[in-house]
Amino acid sequence: MEFEKLILILIGASITNNFVLTYFLGICPFIGVSSKIDSAIGLGIATTFVMTLAATVTWLIYYYILVPFNLVFLQYVTFIIVIASLVQFVEMFIRKTSPPLYKALGIFLPLITTNCAILGLTLFMVLRDYNFLESIIFGLGAGVGFTLALVIMAGIREELKFADVPEPLKGAGITLIIAGLLALAFMGFGGIISSG
Amino acid sequence: MIKDLIRGLWRENPIFVQVLGMCPTLAVTTKALFGFSMGIATLFVVVSSSVVISIIRKLVPEQVRIPMFTVIIATFVTAADYFLKANFFSISKALGPYVPLIVVNCIILGRAEAFASKNSVGRSFLDALGMGLGFTCALIVLGSIRELFGFGTIFGFQILGDGFEKWIIMILPAGAFITLGILVGVFNIIDKKMRARERVQG
């Protein structure tokens, strides 16, 4: 039962309720960055990593520090500081331990702090009363979903270079419309969980 | 001075031109009223944080400015969130986690970094006010269009008759993306015409 619920959270966060296409979280990098598949994958992996870590750390802080000491009103300030320092820490850690990985992911890391998907993830985690394990899985699923949307979008935009887009829609306009069509496609996954 | 205010409304409109702050824009505009509330909340945060950041801009060391700005913004967002919860509970409920997400709205940090940290208090105030108003207007336009086709109403007033078949897609995420995409296109067409006319007159 417990295991089943974890699987449902993982699939829900990554596919049926995709963070980017259903909750509109992480749209900025989605529109700004995703024009090459390689960099989309890099950014996706870095984000997934930070998301899983952020879910773990903020859960511990929220339930072991903020709630017992009646400091819930500091939730937003604390979460954003935790995320920012976590990103900084991950960056330093990767640079020290694995230079090749740092070369691949390094430039994406500072971008992640202002990614609304991470703060959104921690807020949803508290709103839905997930327990510790569920939160970690939720973070992982959300990261995978973000990567998926980013990579699909990058693939489409690589093809888009050769398409004849109306002048006023070039750039942001056509990207948003494509995202809309993708969101429609992802709605099709909605049946998986409720019917299963 | 006036230029600082006007810029955010049209030529550098945060949504249609800079395409910033997308998550609240798309998520809450299922109804015009929600768009309006989100716009006002963001307006409050961007104006107050810009003023504070402008006041302390000479005291903040270069290296820690981004974390400082973020903490200031998060503080004002907390205030706005608790104000909404206390006075307009149903709206706060409908906006859900998107009110706290104002913290990571790139418009606010963007204005802090690009304008308030370099300019006087008065100019920063006007610039933030313009950006906030531009953001609010864009949210109301987007919210009205989606509410009109999705529910047949605008701000809760019946506009389209009972015979109107509601377009459910407009309230769903897909409708949000497509409507905003088309609006950005329309904005570009109008802007181009205006620029062409200015060139003829000038």
Contact flag B173-A183 (C-beta cutoff 8 Å): yes
- Is residue A34 over pLDDT 70? no
Q: Are A179 and A21 in contact (CB under 8 A)?
A: yes
CB A173 within 8 A of CB B184: yes
Nearest-neighbour CA in chain B from A177: distance (Å): 4
CA dist A92 and A112 (Å) reads 14
Written as one letter, the residue type at B37 is: S
Tell me the pLDDT of chain A averaged across its residues.
85
Please give the single-letter amino acid code of residue B103: V
CA distance A156 to A185: 14
ipTM for the predicted complex = 0.85
- Closest of A47, A94, A87, A26 to residue B67, by C-alpha: A87
pLDDT > 90 fraction of chain B, expressed in percent and rounded: 47
Give the confidence band of A196 by pLDDT, cuts at 50, 70, 90: very low
Digit-coded pLDDT (tens) for B56-68: 999 988 878 888 8
CB-based contact, A68 to chain B, within 8 Å: no
Q: In whole angstroms, what is the distance from residue B100 CA to residue B135 CA?
A: 17
Name residue B157's beta-bridge partners. B154
B2 C-beta neighbours (distance < 10 Å), count: 8
B156 touches chain A (CB under 8 A): no
In the predicted model, what is the mean pLDDT of residues A76-97?
A: 86
Amino acid identity at A90: V
Interfacial A residues in 142-171 facing B (CB < 8 Å): 166-169
In whole angstroms, give the CA distance from residue B140 to residue B146: 10
Spans of all domains in chain A: 22-189
* pLDDT tens-place string over residues B117-134: 889 999 999 999 999 999
Please say if the pLDDT value at position A134 is more than 50. yes
Question: How far does B125 lie from chain A, in Å, by closest CA?
Answer: 23
Q: What is the mean pLDDT of chain B?
A: 89
Rounded distance, CA B202 to CA B196, Å?
A: 10
Q: Which amino acid is at B122?
A: G
User: Which band of pLDDT confidence, cut at 50, 70 and 90, is reported for residue A66?
Assistant: very high
Report the first-to-last Cα separation within chain B, whole angstroms. 22
Contact between B138 and B19 under an 8 Å Cβ cutoff? The reply is: no
First to last CA, chain A: 14
Structure confidence at residue B53 (pLDDT)? 94
pLDDT value, residue A107? 67
pLDDT of residue B122: 92
Among the residue ranges A58-62, A95-99, B27-31, B74-78, the one predicted with the least confidence is A95-99
Chain A residues close to B83, C-beta within 8 Å: none
Predicted local distance difference test score (pLDDT) of residue B84:
94
Q: Is A59 left (phi over 0), alpha (psi -120 to 50) or beta?
A: alpha
Closest among A154, A131, A125 to A19, alpha carbons compared: A125
